[in-house]
Amino acid sequence: MLINRDVGELAAPPSARGKAQRLLRAGFIPLVDASVLIAASEFGFAAKEGLTLDLVKDVSWSNIRDRLAFRQFDIAHMLSPMPVASMLGLGSNPSPTITPFSLGRGGNAITLSVNLFERMRNTAGLTENAGALANATALGKTIGQMRERGERLLTLGITYPFSSHNYELRYWLAAGGIDPDRDVKLVVVPPPLTADALQAGAIDGFCVGAPWNMIASERGVGRIVAAKQDIWPMAPEKVIAMRPDWADDNSDTVSRLIVALDAAARWCDRPENHEALAEALTDQRFIAAPVEIIRQVLAGDFSLDAKGNRRIIPNYFIFNRGFANYPKPGHALWIYSQMIRWGQAEFSETALKAAAEAYRPDLYREALGTGPAGEDITMEGNDYHFLDRHLFDPTNMRSYVDNFAVSALKTKTSGGRIA
Amino acid sequence: MVNSDLTILVIDENTIRASIIEEGLHEAGHLHVSIIHEVNGVARIIETLKPDVIIIDIENPNRDMMEHLFQLTRTVSRPIAMFVDRSDSSLIEAAMDAGVSAYVVDGLKKERVKSILDMAVSRFNAFSRLQRELAEAKSALEERKVIERAKGILMKMRGLSEEQAFALLRQTAMNEKKKMADIAQSVVTAAGLLM
């Protein structure tokens, strides 16, 4: 017996050799888009794969980034542009970071103060149910009027310099002819403080994830003027991030994790599970927001303001459908295009390659044995439109970025957009 | 006294901890230390102060605001990076465990920053030890108080002496494998319901 066991040990495959890591410390920020990670831990999907997730709530994306880099976390809930920024060496502590799994699409929205929205209605004759683009144009007109009268610049909140919120807010503003670096002032506000900051008049609007837009509108201080779906429905929102060396050393664990997250994502997508999910998310350990608000968010049932104007956004949250969890390198390249557009990064072939490598579909396919048909880098914007109806051709990055009427590349020569 | 020409900015919402760090830095010969307790208006302060090192507590959600600021100031040619040298990971881990993070002007020599960070780490740790001890002392006091009250209740209701009441509480705690303070609390609660 003894001899047999020894032989068995010698013959063991690499994954069984040594101690495979089964307890994973996972950092997260309290947001509804952490649902899949939380559900994996709370509803047995991780346990089924022999994994235990130790979920650690954190207060800032900078902390998440640093704690992942310095091994306090094994995996983390991260903004989709963060691994791209890390691979490009951007930010104050860039350290190699990859993602093999996206946590889904949707969840973001842009909210302006009710006073500002009222002014936009008066200035531009907006209808009650104007679309996202009409709202942006109306804001442009209002900013023009404010400038004529010598009023202060509007201040708008984002959550992090390398965030979908930053790029989505900028995309929306620019589509309305507003230069985000000259015609408004962008500041960072931690998500849980956005509704308070709006109420206190410290900011005039913000772009943030759920449930904070809904909380501002329910309180009667904010008016939702655009949702992520209006800007580009396909953009990945949050991802599961890890260090590439850790992923190499723990390939079996990574596969198990992806299987568990995939099962949890399917579960989260089914409406009949939303009640249980909302109950779990409302816990102090997780989001600690009122359960009714989380229910409404999951249903995409939006109160646009406190007057009772509603908008149902189908697919406001997509946790799994349509390969929403697939980390598509073409999406990482779209993020890179926006970094170039706004002067955070410069174009180079090397950087292009590095950006695409932040997203690791190979790990996803290896674990699940499936993935979407078609290439990983394709033309985007045909089926699911961008707000301004541009098409993104990742193989022609330069002309894509040059074709935007509003961008930091143009601001350099022309000054602000709005005269 | 070697480092006294460096300008250090400490951002900490906890005023007591901030002053403990400030004192430590002064003792180590750093005379240009500024303390702020909230990040409102920090952009202007950084512009005028031009700190070489910024120390900020990790629990401050406004760290993300600082990141944005550094993105912006980078274009005005004030590069600020976190941790000069990634190779010293034990120091960085100790800092994160203690709850300190730091931003350092790019190009500053590692040795000059290390002593400052070491100081911040030890002061942060000392502060949490102090807080823990204070909390423990407080709860010990609370426990003594509740035991006194339970003793009084038992003496009155069951006609026991002080020593007998104490012995009864201790014996019950041992039988139930609970803390004496917990048993005392049940006595006080029950008495509140019954009387």
Q: How do residues B131-181 score in pLDDT, each as one tens digit?
A: 888 888 888 888 999 999 999 999 998 999 999 999 999 999 999 999 999
**Domain boundaries, position B154:** 135-194
B90 in the same domain as B35: yes
Of A60, A66, A343, the CB nearest to B96: A66
Entry pTM: 0.83
B107 in the same domain as B30: yes
B18 is a domain residue: yes
Residue B56, pLDDT score: 87
| Mutation for testing the A interface, residue in B44, B68, B108 having most A CBs under 10 Å | B68
**Nearest-neighbour CA in chain B from A187: distance (Å):** 7
d(CA A309, CA A127) in angstroms, rounded, equals: 12
B142 in the same domain as B121: no
Q: Do B82 and A59 touch (CB under 8 A)?
A: no
Chain A residue numbers touching B64 (CB-CB < 8 A)? 60-62, 159-160, 188, 190
B1 is a domain residue: no
In total, how many domains does chain B have? 2
What confidence tier does B97 reach under pLDDT thresholds 50, 70, 90?
confident
d(CA B32, CA B37) in angstroms, rounded, equals: 17
B2 is a domain residue: no
B122 is a domain residue: yes
Residue A16, pLDDT score: 44
419 residues of chain A, pLDDT tens digit each: 333 333 334 443 444 445 789 999 999 999 999 999 999 999 999 999 999 999 999 999 999 998 998 888 999 999 999 999 999 999 877 889 999 999 999 889 999 999 999 999 999 988 877 899 999 999 999 999 999 999 999 999 999 999 999 999 999 999 999 999 999 999 999 888 899 999 999 999 999 998 899 889 889 999 999 999 999 999 899 999 999 999 999 999 999 999 999 999 999 999 999 999 999 999 999 998 899 999 999 998 887 777 778 888 888 899 999 999 999 999 999 999 999 999 999 999 999 999 999 999 999 999 999 999 999 999 999 989 999 999 999 999 999 999 999 999 887 655 555 65
Residue-range domains of chain A with CATH: 14-104+236-299+318-368 (3.40.190.10), 109-234+305-311+399-414 (3.40.190.10)
* CATH code, B50: 3.40.190
Residue B1, pLDDT score: 47
* CATH code, B180: 1.10.10.10
Residue A1, pLDDT score: 35
Chain A contact for B64, CB < 8 A?
yes
Q: Do A92 and B64 touch (CB under 8 A)?
A: no
B122 in the same domain as B42: yes
| Mutation for testing the B interface, residue in A25, A57, A62 having most B CBs under 10 Å | A62
Nearest Cα to B146, choosing from B191, B195, B185?
Answer: B185
Chain B residue numbers touching A93 (CB-CB < 8 A)? 81-83
Chain A residue numbers touching B106 (CB-CB < 8 A)? none
CB atoms within 10 A of CB A293: 20
Nearest Cα to A261, choosing from A99, A18, A96, A20?
Answer: A99
* Residue in chain B lying closest to A343 (CA): B75
B110 is a domain residue: yes
Of A59, A72, A158, the CB nearest to B61: A59
Q: Do B67 and A67 touch (CB under 8 A)?
A: no
d(CA A107, CA B128) in angstroms, rounded, equals: 38
Chain A and chain B share a number of CB contacts under 8 A equal to: 68
Give the SS3 label for residue A226. strand
For residue B183, CA distances in Å to A236, B138, B153, B174, B187 come to: 54, 19, 13, 10, 6
Q: Mean pLDDT of all residues in chain B?
A: 82
Task: Tell how far CA A22 is from the center of its chain.
Answer: 27
Of A91, A95, A187, the CB nearest to B67: A91
B120 in the same domain as B40: yes
Burial (CB count within 10 angstroms: exposed 0-12, middle 13-18, buried 19+), residue B100: buried
68-87 in chain B: CB under 8 A from chain A: 68-71, 75, 80-83, 86
Residue A7, pLDDT score: 38
* Residue in chain B lying closest to A188 (CA): B65
From B133, B150, B172, give the residue that closes a domain.
B133
From B105, B133, B161, give the residue that closes a domain.
B133
B118 in the same domain as B22: yes
DSSP, residue by residue, chain B: -TTTT-EEEEE-S-HHHHHHHHHHHHHTT--EEEEES--TTHHHHHHHH--SEEEEETT-TTHHHHHHHHHHHHTTT--EES-S-TT-HHHHHHHHHHTEEEEEETT--HHHHHHHHHHHHHHHHHHHHHHHHHHHHHHHHHHHHHHHHHHHHHHHHH---HHHHHHHHHHHHHHHT--HHHHHHHHHHHHHHH-
Q: Do A71 and B93 touch (CB under 8 A)?
A: yes
Q: Do A160 and B103 touch (CB under 8 A)?
A: no
Name all contacts of B110-113 with Cβ < 8 Å and 24+ positions apart: B110/B84, B110/B85, B112/B3, B112/B6, B113/B53, B113/B84
B104 in the same domain as B50: yes
Lowest-confidence region among A186-200, B74-88, B112-126, B144-158: B74-88
What confidence tier does B73 reach under pLDDT thresholds 50, 70, 90?
low
- The answer to whether residue B76 scores a pLDDT higher than 70 is no
B140 in the same domain as B106: no
Chain A contact for B89, CB < 8 A?
yes
What confidence tier does B125 reach under pLDDT thresholds 50, 70, 90?
confident
Q: Do A92 and B80 touch (CB under 8 A)?
A: yes
Of B61, B64, B96, the CB nearest to A70: B96
From B106, B133, B160, give the residue that closes a domain.
B133
Residue B63, pLDDT score: 84
For residue B47, CA distances in Å to B41, B52, B103 come to: 10, 12, 15
B154 in the same domain as B59: no
Residue B193, pLDDT score: 82
B112 in the same domain as B141: no
| Core vs surface per residue A33-70: b (16+ CB within 10 A) or e | bbbbbbbbbbbebbeebebebebbebbbbbbbbbbbbb
Structure tokens at A28: 């997260």
Chain B residue numbers touching A66 (CB-CB < 8 A)? 82, 96, 101
d(CA A101, CA A241) in angstroms, rounded, equals: 8
B180 in the same domain as B111: no
What confidence tier does B75 reach under pLDDT thresholds 50, 70, 90?
very low
B144 in the same domain as B84: no
Of A63, A188, A344, the CB nearest to B65: A188
Chain A residue numbers touching B80 (CB-CB < 8 A)? 92
